[in-house]
Structure 1
Amino acid sequence: MSIIDAERSREAKYKLHVIDCDIHPAMTSWQEIHPYLEKRWIDHLTVYGSHLRHAFSEALSHPRMSPDAARIDAYPEEGGPPGSSLDLMRKQHLDPNGVETGMLIPLRWNPGSQRNLDFGVALTRAMNIWQVERWVTQEPRLRASVLVAQEDTVGAVAEIDARGGDKNFTQILILPRTDEPIGRRRYWPIFEAAVRNNLPITIHVGGTGGHPSTAGGWSSYYMEEHHMVAQAMQGALASLVFEGVFERFPKLRVVIMEGGLGWIPSFMARMDKHWNRLRSEVPQVKRPPSEYVREHVWFTTQPMEEPGSAAALLDLFDRIGWDRLLFATDYPHWDFDDPRTAFKANLSEAQRHQLLYGNARIFYGFDA
């Protein structure tokens, strides 16, 4: 018996009911979305290709620790990248892990960061249709995210309004490495459309805005870059708060996805401290920043924190708020969080159910 099998045997007494808020599907190739693209854009791909707002064409600034940032066992036998096989996703993740609902977060082709904005808008439209036809209609446990070309707010709003009444979509996906800080007014029409369509904004790590991942430039090592996700989320959260986004859109809901958890309590406390002393600079922020965060922002659990003691982890959950935590696995990436072993603490059945299932069911409005 493997270590994983032994661990799952010990945990077998817990019947899993899971809502996974972060599953990454992939296309086998560009040809998979050709049916949803106009001929103009198929020709564009053939002649010019895809180019992101980045220092390196068709590449990230630093290679991932493993190809595609994926688990080695997630490559389909028939070929294709991890996340491209629905059958393998069912066999490896949905069925054994009790996933009753899974949110699709397509990242691999990065439509929101295309240099050619018109192509980006066309690509988001095609990939939104692809999510439904390729995944959701074939697997009723899956839900799609509305992809938008976030630097073209007119195109983004049109796509949000087009998908807003479709129950196959649960949220709007934005990547934090935008051209400008995400709270700036150029992005406000996207937030307005989100509220109008009763869809939360999900900010998932990633994007290629052309800016380095650190204030001092590009990192030397993958390990450095991997830790910059928290920094990107801190910047996004501060921008949303201090630009007055939550005051302007009191019904806006935001999910910070895959940004870690350990920094959140101290970051809220520091924002409150500075606001108490410098609030005259930001009259649009009428209340302590932590109040906006606690009312408008939720956080996914992956990558799960693993402090030295269970008490420290439970204290972290207490300080963030148990009801603000949404479970995520990040399948099929290498730092996947198994719902049986992700929380290194003795949780009551009620606590476990709340984290794995209950919070997301309430947040997304799924029926019990």
Structure 2
Amino acid sequence: MTRTVQRLIDCDVHNAVPSDTALSPYLSARWRRHLELVGSRTYSPFTKGYAYPKAAKFASRHDAWPLSGALPGSDLEFMREQLLDAYPIDYAVLNCLYRAAEQRNDLYGAALARAVNEWQVEHWLERDPRLRASITVPFESPALAAAEIDRAAAHPGFVQVLLFPRTRQPLGRRHYWPIYEAAGRAGLPVGIHAASTTPGPITPAGWPSYYIEDHTALSVAFQAQVISLIMEGVFDRFPELRVVLLEGGFAWIPSMRWRLDALYARLHEEVPDLEHPPSYYLRHRIRSTTQPMEEPEHPADLVPLLQEIGEDVLMFSTDYPHWDFDNPHRAFQTAVPPDLRTRIMNDNAREYYRFTP
């Protein structure tokens, strides 16, 4: 009997700008000079990159460093060898976490965002038909971000707009609405990917002692943003808006949905303009990637959780080349019905991103 190969869509792959100077060809003379003489000044406390875990430099797998010594995720040929050709991947969505959105000089941040997007087109999208990418935007300057969405979305390789969950204000606030309007014009979802841009503590209760605290608490930032987007009425105001939660976990979705609906039943007078209960937006307007996987002790318990979340909500991701990479050959193998696994590994992303076969 011939074994059917499960085709994959990987919704979270990280390509890396190899160095700041790699963006110079895509910057105007003014901003090239700024890069050379001033450089990056960000709101993030991690001025030289993410500080930990030390055991996984650049948060990457030990084997993800190309022999050339280039950064993990910066070498397309090496990515082909380790990911694109190693698994039956139809599409891989690139999420470049370069720090354009963290710049204190918002015009420089906008110039960097444009440079990153043009670099992605030349070095990635035009070199492998399996690749798609997120548009990097200076999202703390929404008018500039909207202009970049309008410009970059003309290239068919861009399939979403990239934001981070630790922002200076909750993402539902009016401040960010120009981004959602522009994403709607472009017909693109907004992806919110785990990262930090703020100068304040990266947990709601202050600075943690350990990386494991920060890594676990990432899901709290995502929950806060989802609640903000729903309660501020963003989904009603922008009916074309679709949101993808990238690397934020997913096991918390049912409990938050239940809690929000219960509170909405009692406190709906505070938000009388919502057209639906909160659970509607979580079910119909928001999708989530699978990595990091939250697996119960008993594998059979995973299926009821997936069904409670919604069989069309989860979309597979590996998080390549990061240390907590999820191997596609091992994901959702135990107890998950084949039709549900196919939805998670391929069909859900194909429908949500509107990929062609």
Common topology (TM > 0.5): yes
One-letter identity of the residue aligned with 1:363: Y
Match of 2:74 in 1: 84
Question: How big is the shift at 1:285?
Answer: 2.1
Match of 2:168 in 1: 179
Matched, 1:215 2:204: yes
Match of 2:334 in 1: 345
Match of 2:115 in 1: 126
Question: How big is the shift at 1:98?
Answer: 1.1
The structure 2 residue matched to 1:291, chosen from 268, 280, 285, is: 280
Describe how 1:144-293 pairs up with structure 2 within 5 A. Answer: 144-293=133-282
Matched, 1:97 2:95: no
**Cα contact 1:171–1:201 (8 A) shared by 2:** yes
Provide the C-alpha distance between the structure 2 equivalents of 1:94 and 1:16, rounded to a whole number of angstroms: 14
Question: How big is the shift at 1:144?
Answer: 1.6
Match of 1:38 in 2: 28
Match of 2:63 in 1: 73
One-letter identity of the residue aligned with 1:55: P
TM-score by length of structure 1 reads: 0.93
- Structure 1 residues 64, 105: closer, same or farther in 2, change over 3 A? farther
One-letter identity of the residue aligned with 1:264: I
**Cα contact 1:112–1:207 (8 A) shared by 2:** no
Question: How big is the shift at 1:207?
Answer: 2.7
Matched, 1:366 2:336: no
Provide the C-alpha distance between the structure 1 equivalents of 2:152 and 2:49, rounded to a whole number of angstroms: 30
**Cα contact 2:254–2:308 (8 A) shared by 1:** yes
**Cα contact 1:302–1:327 (8 A) shared by 2:** yes
Question: How big is the shift at 1:63?
Answer: 4.7
- Per mean C-alpha deviation after superposition, the further-off stretch among 55-64 and 248-257 is 55-64
**Cα contact 1:314–1:345 (8 A) shared by 2:** no
Match of 1:142 in 2: 131
**SS of equivalent residue, structure 2 residue 197:** coil
Q: Provide the aligned C-alpha RMSD in A.
A: 1.5
Matched, 1:28 2:28: no
Match of 2:38 in 1: 48
Provide the C-alpha distance between the structure 2 equivalents of 1:334 and 1:309, rounded to a whole number of angstroms: 24
Provide the C-alpha distance between the structure 2 equivalents of 1:275 and 1:330, rounded to a whole number of angstroms: 35
One-letter identity of the residue aligned with 2:77: D
One-letter identity of the residue aligned with 1:76: P
Question: How big is the shift at 1:41?
Answer: 1.5
**Cα contact 1:50–1:58 (8 A) shared by 2:** no
Match of 1:9 in 2: none
One-letter identity of the residue aligned with 1:216: A
Provide the C-alpha distance between the structure 2 equivalents of 1:112 and 1:277, rounded to a whole number of angstroms: 38
Question: How big is the shift at 1:30?
Answer: 1.3
Question: How big is the shift at 1:293?
Answer: 1.2
Equivalent residue pairs, number = 356
Question: How big is the shift at 1:242?
Answer: 0.7
**SS of equivalent residue, structure 1 residue 322:** coil
- Structure 1 residues 335, 14: closer, same or farther in 2, change over 3 A? farther
One-letter identity of the residue aligned with 2:67: E
Provide the C-alpha distance between the structure 1 equivalents of 2:172 and 2:84, rounded to a whole number of angstroms: 35
Question: How big is the shift at 1:131?
Answer: 0.6
Provide the C-alpha distance between the structure 2 equivalents of 1:60 and 1:284, rounded to a whole number of angstroms: 41
Provide the C-alpha distance between the structure 1 equivalents of 2:346 and 2:267, rounded to a whole number of angstroms: 40
Provide the C-alpha distance between the structure 2 equivalents of 1:148 and 1:57, rounded to a whole number of angstroms: 19
Per-residue CA shift, 1:96-122, capped at 9, x if unaligned? 111110001001x22111111111000
